[in-house]
Amino acid sequence: MKPAAPLRLQSLPFLAGLESGLAKELTALSEPHRYEDGAKVFQQGERIPGVFVVAEGSLKVFRSDGRGHVQVLDFIRPGQCVGEVQVFDGGAIASSAEAHGETACWLIPAAPLRELAHRTPQVAEALIQHFAGKVRHLVDLVDSLSLHSVPERVAQVVLDAHARQPDRLLVEFQETQEELAQCIGASREAFSRALRLLTDLGLIQSTFPVVKLVDLPRLRTFAKG
């Protein structure tokens, strides 16, 4: 396997302003890992050794009830990370993660990261802001699942994908319909029906995995309910 791309701490908001000497120290302690598509990175209920930073590919982070019901919480893409909550609360991780496509990660070990936060006020403050953002993400997820219809949720999925490439009106998903449905608490069939409805309303044109945004303002209005 080829080596992982370099660890870029500046991509992480809570380490972006780290003094160069400390950044080199933390980078030297970090370990590269590569995973084949579908490989388990960590399991719900485990104690993980640190923060996983995605360098290439992506991680699918999800919860399962053990009976086949899955809720996808997020897809962690290059420059994003997972596991930082468990580094600081010392508990078992509340979700599982697996590689989505061939994926490379860096593992920042827990102990030096905790020590860095204890002795560097800027890092501690940035971490607080970072954790607040995670709480907002989960609040938005609860809002979507409890207050919006499946077609409205699907519209938001399309808008979120567009936001990652706002200069394009064509969105090409790397995830399957099943995986995207798991993100919004729906079945694959309900997700597919919602795409057809949005097409019939003249908001999009869908030849999944490619979706063309036809009427972006109306799509935004529809997603709000």
- Domain boundaries defined on the chain: 9-145, 148-224
Contact by Cβ (8 Å): 96, 63: yes
Q: CB–CB of 39/10 below 8 Å?
A: no
For the domain 9-145, what is the CATH superfamily, name and number?
Answer: Jelly Rolls (2.60.120.10)
Question: pLDDT digit of tens for each residue in the chain (225 aa)?
Answer: 677 788 888 888 888 878 888 888 889 999 999 999 999 999 999 999 999 999 999 999 999 987 778 999 999 999 999 999 999 998 999 999 999 999 999 999 999 999 988 988 888 888 888 899 888 988 888 888 889 999 999 999 999 999 999 999 999 999 999 999 999 999 999 999 999 999 999 999 999 999 999 999 999 999 999
Q: What is 148-224's CATH number?
A: 1.10.10.10
Domains 9-145 and 148-224 share a fold: no
The b/e string for 51-67 (b: 16+ C-beta within 10 A; e otherwise) is bbbbbebbbbbbeeeee
Helical ranges in the chain per DSSP H:
20-29, 84-89, 110-119, 121-147, 150-164, 177-183, 188-200, 216-224
pLDDT for residue 151: 98
pLDDT score, position 1? 60
CA 220/CA 30 separation, integer angstroms: 41
- pLDDT of the residue at 217: 97
